[in-house]
Amino acid sequence: MKSKNRISRRSILKGAGLVSAMPLLTAASYPSASGRGKTSEAFKEISEKVWSTPFIDTHEHLIEEHQRLAVPPIHLRSDDWSMLMSHYLDSDFLTAGMSQQDYQAFYSTRMDPEDKWALIAPWWPHVRNTGYGQAAQITMRELYQIEELSASTVHLLQERYESVRRPGFYRMILEDICRIESCQVNYIGRPFCESRMPLLLMQDISIRGMYAIRGKPASVAVQEYSEPAGMKVMCLTDWHRVIDWWFDKYGRYAVAVKSQNAYSRDIDHEQISAEIAEPIFKELLDGERLDDDKKKALEDHLFWYAVARATEHHLPVKLHTGYYAGQNINLPLWRIRNNPASASDLCRRSPKTSFVFMHIGYPYYEEMIALAKHYTNAHIDMCWSWLINPSAAKDFLKKYLVAAPANKLLSFGGDYFHIEPVVGHASLARHGITQALTELVIEGWIKIDAALDLADAIMHQNARRIFHLNEKAEALKQAEWAK
Ligand SMILES: [Zn+2]
């Protein structure tokens, strides 16, 4: 996108006095019960390695830069500094006790940015140390040079927020500040996004709507996929053809397929034949309400249909597992805790499919380590886990690396719609990775050379191999929307 106001990345960095991300701790401040000298040495070497190694970011929901710069921006409730405190920190404010009324006002477009501070001031001390809160704080420090959020700094924060949010800021944030080589975007709004930055914002194909039945009238749900394909859906075979169309059109450009349907049910998908699914699909198209057994049977059939297409196209299948975003609506831990067990059935049923289980199945992450240890086709993605609970994520990483093959672990992805907090999250993750690797060395589990090699594997090499990124980059250069 060309614009008269376009500024170079360097000039944004220089003008706003920005710096690239820095370690959160120095060697001298690194706490350890063991000998200080040895600790400091290992910490320093690993820290330098991790902070200079690029990430491949395996999961975001980023909207496109031009959509973000549109007036009003698409998908954002507010476009001032309060945006930094939304998705996902807003949930912590509510569960800390903030009222719905103050919450609505804080994220509205109608209130002066300076008046907003008064609304969160009572709650900020309670949430600033959570992963969500820390990512926001680090973003303020590294992107805007604001050390402490307060009544006296909020005006400056707003000024700098506006000075950064200009054409070119996506590349500046991702490449220059976060050292992110490429992102993998699960675009919300269309099953596949023809990105204007196709090599930086690589895309997943969203398969959720191919199999999940979610409240909407069937005609509406079907249209989302059938209309772009230019097809009419009268029976299950038609719907199979629609699914095929998405893989034929976008399979070579997509990095993976993605579904977050574990927000609605467990991932306990049984293999159900088309003969059983066909009459149920017909009932659905006729507008009938399916009972739970029929709904599950149809979803299970279509899940495996989509997974089989993904497998044919060498696309890994990314599935949400574990904790849910949001607050006070529904967090069925009794069901979520079954995710790792159901995941083991998926791996067994389709050994040729590469499954990527997201978010370490938090809080049931020990089970996910067992899964990756046992099944060749089980990969674990730490995306979002640094934000949900950074200390647990570090614990998971240490345990994973001494239990399961390191080539199946992905260490970073943010899950954000807006780009700025990626800065804080990338620093949080680098901090945690540094800590985990250092502790493994000083506790005597692994040697320092192994730790340095592991940093490369989990931060970028595994992602490049698992998602065939070199091949995808070549295909994307030829894509019609890239020209
Ligand atoms: Zn997500």
Q: What is the pLDDT of residue 1?
A: 38
Distances (CA, A) of 266 to 151, 294, 340, 352: 45, 15, 10, 22
Grouping H, G, I as helix, E, B as strand and the rest as coil, residue 356 is strand
Q: What is the 3-state secondary structure (H, E, C) of 9-20?
A: HHHHHHHCCCCC
pTM of the predicted structure, to 2 decimals: 0.93
Tell me the CA–centroid distance for residue 416 and ligand 1, in Å: 8
Give 328's DSSP letter: S
Q: What is the pLDDT of residue 365?
A: 98
Report the distance separating Cα 399 and Cα 367, nearest Å. 11
Phi, psi of 346 (to 5 degrees): -60, -45
Tell me the CA–centroid distance for residue 265 and ligand 1, in Å: 16
Q: What is the pLDDT of residue 72?
A: 75
Q: What is the pLDDT of residue 71?
A: 80
| CB neighbour list of residue 359: distance below 8 Å, 6 or more residues apart | 320, 321, 322, 323, 381, 382, 383, 384, 385, 388
Place of tokens 């647990």: 392
Ranges under pLDDT 50 in the chain: 1-19, 32-33
Q: What is the pLDDT of residue 5?
A: 42
Tell me the CA–centroid distance for residue 424 and ligand 1, in Å: 17
Tell me the CA–centroid distance for residue 378 and ligand 1, in Å: 19
- Give me the DSSP letters along 31-84: --SS-HHHHHHHHHHHHHHHHHSPEEEEEE-PPPHHHHHSSSPTT-S--SGGGG
Tell me the CA–centroid distance for residue 303 and ligand 1, in Å: 18
Length of the chain: 483
Tell me the CA–centroid distance for residue 59 and ligand 1, in Å: 7
